Amino acid sequence: MYDPIRAYRNHLTYKCFPASSESVRTGRFAVYGRQRKSTQNLTFCPRFYLTEPERYSIIPEEGGVSVSTNEKEAACFLKERCKKVPEIAVVLGSGWSEAVKGFRPRRVFSYEEIPGFPVSAVSGHPGKLAVGNWNGVETAVFCGRVHYYEGYSPAAACTLVRTAAYWGVPKILLTNAAGGICERFLPGDLMVITDHISNFVPSPLNGPNAEELGPRFPDMSAAYDRPMSEALHRAAGSIGLTLQEGIYLQTAGPQFETPAEIRMMRMLGADAVGMSTAIETIAARHAGMRVAGLSLITNMAAGMEKGELTHEEVAAMGASRSAVIGKLLEQALPELAGA
């Protein structure tokens, strides 16, 4: 079977675009013959297949809407239901959701009830948005994200971030679970992201530019906000915690890396590796948001320790560190808001 979504990812001939405002939910796409004499809608979850790819080119359906339209609808939905615009958004990665049990939000939304929101099928990503006052700071906590490897485009994988931008949220803290590449790191360490390497995943800015959000060619020389990073260090110091710092590299996933790939990444300067965050940072910076990043080192990367790498190991480390992470987030929010 031919997979045109993968062809799109690999920058080949075929491209896919949403066919309606329900496209993220249903995966409905318009497929046209090369002469555009006929059209049909196919349903996939999350992929569809063509047995004769040479007969088709995939283009936007008449009247189709962009991903940004879904994000605007989501932002309007949240503005209508939340009286205050959050001062900061927090996106929780794999295993991080247990850390926010102490947060008592005013409103909780399932991703399924927010228009145009994608829903993750990966364990450790519950798919809920919690909004409320956390330690004196109006906060939006996105419990879970979707990933490129689930079949979403890079742009769709950044829906949460762009929704926050359209909502008017000025700052965002992106968190993730990562494999440690730096030999100084230990499982359980927390790393403040100082920079990233995103070349292994297509940019979420591919395609027509959303001019209302940002420029066609956004600057990334200071992707991670230094005052916000310093705020994380101050908050950690107040609870007797020391944070690492380093460069994060995003891969496409979903497979873990090979030892040879880890050696290459170390030569490139990466200190930690994961399957998210970098493209979200690109989308956030494009929209003018200030960004901080925090990685939980759940394991040492392939070839650095004996044994196989598993997602269960990632989740277990997240659970074991949830109390410390929860304290850090609670202390960090006022510092981040004031940075």
User: Checking DSSP bridges between strand 128-134 and strand 107-110, what pairing results, if any?
Assistant: antiparallel
Q: Is 123 a catalytic residue?
A: no
pLDDT in tens, 39-63: 333 333 333 333 333 333 333 333 3
Is residue 152 among the annotated active site residues? Answer: no
* Active site annotation includes 276: yes
Whether 176 is a known active-site residue: answer no
Identified catalytic residue from 71, 73, 150, 280:
150
In tens, the pLDDT along 248-280 reads 999 999 999 999 999 999 999 999 999 999 999
Please pick, among 32, 56, 245, 311, the residue that the annotation labels catalytic.
Answer: 311
Q: How far apart are CA 271 and CA 273, in angstroms?
A: 7
196 is catalytic: no
CATH number for the domain formed by residue range(s) 67-338: 3.40.50.1580
pTM for the whole thing?
0.82
The domains of the chain are located at 4-57, 67-338
d(CA 293, CA 194) in angstroms, rounded, equals 8
Q: What percent of the chain has pLDDT over 70?
A: 80
Catalytic: which of 68, 98, 125, 166? 125
Whole-angstrom distance, CA of residue 42 vs CA of residue 49: 9
Q: Which residues pair with 2 in a beta bridge?
A: 50
Active site residue 11: no
| pLDDT attached to residue 68 | 65
Written in H, E and C, the secondary structure of 76-116 is: HHHHHHCCCCCCEEEEECCCCHHHHCCCCCCEEEEHHHCCC
